[in-house]
């Protein structure tokens, strides 16, 4: 109970107390967009690290050497918990925006920070709006900002973590059109923080594995047609291996 209360207090205080900071960052962005982006990134990483400590999370990161240092990438991960985003921002090595469901854009203050962090809001029910989001994601990649997407579209609730929901094939269009590498990401242990016993927060050992880059144009003809299914299998195998090591 105490962990939940502390985490909620930390988030609420951060969102309220940083209202002036959002204005300052907006002003600085006019002169130096990159510096404003990095300042936003470090601030969000700080609050997420605090939340992970309050939640009692112990984590280890593997495969950072698989992430190219000279270009933006598309992170594609399995999705079991709200804490997937927390752990993602804590561990990625560079500027990264998450692609979130459109409902997140309605949350006051949080939506402003998400916008500052280059996050995009995807409406899967509107093809035209969804295409605009994908095109914006491509521009972000070309501008040097990596993007992170959960192609399952929602949090998986299967008792078997390796049983992922079907991946939306359109989710990988950003990589197809931009030519950027896809970095498969497997996380285990995040659902044990909250979702397995919602609304209570409990300590957990989380492992994040960044896999080897996938270049869609280098896949076989069959896998190029369904890169989502191919990536899903890769991540499922990674999850299975990690679960065996916990």
Mean pLDDT over 219-226 rounds to: 91
* Domains in the chain, number: 1
Answer yes or no: is 111 within a domain: yes
- Backbone φ and ψ for 69, nearest 5 degrees, come out as -95, -5
| Residue numbers of the domain that contains 175 | 56-245
Torsion angle defined by CA atoms of residues 209, 210, 214 and 215, in that order, rounded to the nearest 10 degrees:
170
Answer yes or no: is 132 within a domain: yes
Give yes or no for a contact between 73 and 145, defined as CB atoms under 8 angstroms apart. no
Vertex 143 angle, CA 52 and 78, to 5°: 40
The domain spanning residue 185 has which CATH number?
Answer: 3.40.1130.10
Answer yes or no: is 198 within a domain: yes
pLDDT at 125 exceeding the cut of 90:
no
Alpha-carbon gap, residue 96 to 130, rounded angstroms: 19
Answer yes or no: is 163 within a domain: yes
Answer yes or no: is 48 within a domain: no
| Residue 220: per-residue pLDDT | 92
| Residue 118: per-residue pLDDT | 95
pLDDT in tens, 55-97: 999 999 999 999 999 999 999 999 999 999 999 999 999 999 9
Give yes or no for a contact between 104 and 121, defined as CB atoms under 8 angstroms apart. yes
pLDDT at 135 exceeding the cut of 90:
yes
| Residue 127: per-residue pLDDT | 76
Residue 214's pLDDT band, with cuts at 50, 70 and 90, is very high
Question: Which burial class, exposed, middle or buried, applies to 155 when counting CB atoms under 10 A from its CB (0-12, 13-18, 19+)?
Answer: middle
In this prediction, what percent of the chain has a pLDDT beyond 70?
A: 100
State whether residue 246 is helix, strand or coil: coil
pLDDT in tens, 180-207: 999 999 999 999 999 988 888 999 999 9
| Residue 126: per-residue pLDDT | 81
Quickly tell me which residue has 């205080």 as its tokens: 13
Answer yes or no: is 199 within a domain: yes
pLDDT in tens, 137-176: 999 999 999 999 999 988 877 777 888 999 988 889 999 9
Sheet containing strand 204-210, edge to edge, reads: 57-62, 204-210, 182-188, 74-77, 146-149, 96-101, 120-122
Alpha helices in the chain, H assignment, sequence order: 2-17, 19-31, 33-54, 83-91, 110-116, 127-142, 173-178, 221-225, 227-245
In this prediction, what percent of the chain has a pLDDT beyond 90?
A: 80
Alpha-carbon gap, residue 55 to 53, rounded angstroms: 5
| Residue 93: per-residue pLDDT | 96
| Residue 204: per-residue pLDDT | 96
Answer yes or no: is 5 within a domain: no
State whether residue 100 is helix, strand or coil: strand
Answer yes or no: is 35 within a domain: no
Question: Which burial class, exposed, middle or buried, applies to 203 when counting CB atoms under 10 A from its CB (0-12, 13-18, 19+)?
Answer: exposed
pLDDT at 238 exceeding the cut of 80:
yes
Give yes or no for a contact between 168 and 219, defined as CB atoms under 8 angstroms apart. no
């Amino acid at each position: 109970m105490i962990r939940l209360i502390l985490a909620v207090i930390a988030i609420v205080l951060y969102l309220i107390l940083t209202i002036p900071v959002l204005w300052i960052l907006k002003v600085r962005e006019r002169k130096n967009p990159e510096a404003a982006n990095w300042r936003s990134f470090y601030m969000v990483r700080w609050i997420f690290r605090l939340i992970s400590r309050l939640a009692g999370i112990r984590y280890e990161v593997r495969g950072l050497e698989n992430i190219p240092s000279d270009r933006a990438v598309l992170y594609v991960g399995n999705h079991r918990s709200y804490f997937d985003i927390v752990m993602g921002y804590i561990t990625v090595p560079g500027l990264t925006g998450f692609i979130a469901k459109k409902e997140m854009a309605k949350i006051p203050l949080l939506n402003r920070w998400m916008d500052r962090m280059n996050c995009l809001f995807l409406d899967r029910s509107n093809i035209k709006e969804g295409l605009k989001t994908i095109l914006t994601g491509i521009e972000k990649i070309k501008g040097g900002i990596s993007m992170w997407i959960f192609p399952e579209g929602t949090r998986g609730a299967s008792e078997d973590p390796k049983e992922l929901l079907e991946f939306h094939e359109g989710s990988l269009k950003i990589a197809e059109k931009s030519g950027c590498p896809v970095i498969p990401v497997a996380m285990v242990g995040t659902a044990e923080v909250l979702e397995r016993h919602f609304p209570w927060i409990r300590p957990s050992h989380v492992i994040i594995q960044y896999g080897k880059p996938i270049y869609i144009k280098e896949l076989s003809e069959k896998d190029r047609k369904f890169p989502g299914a191919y990536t899903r299998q890769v991540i499922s195998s990674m999850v299975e291996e990690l679960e065996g090591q916990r």
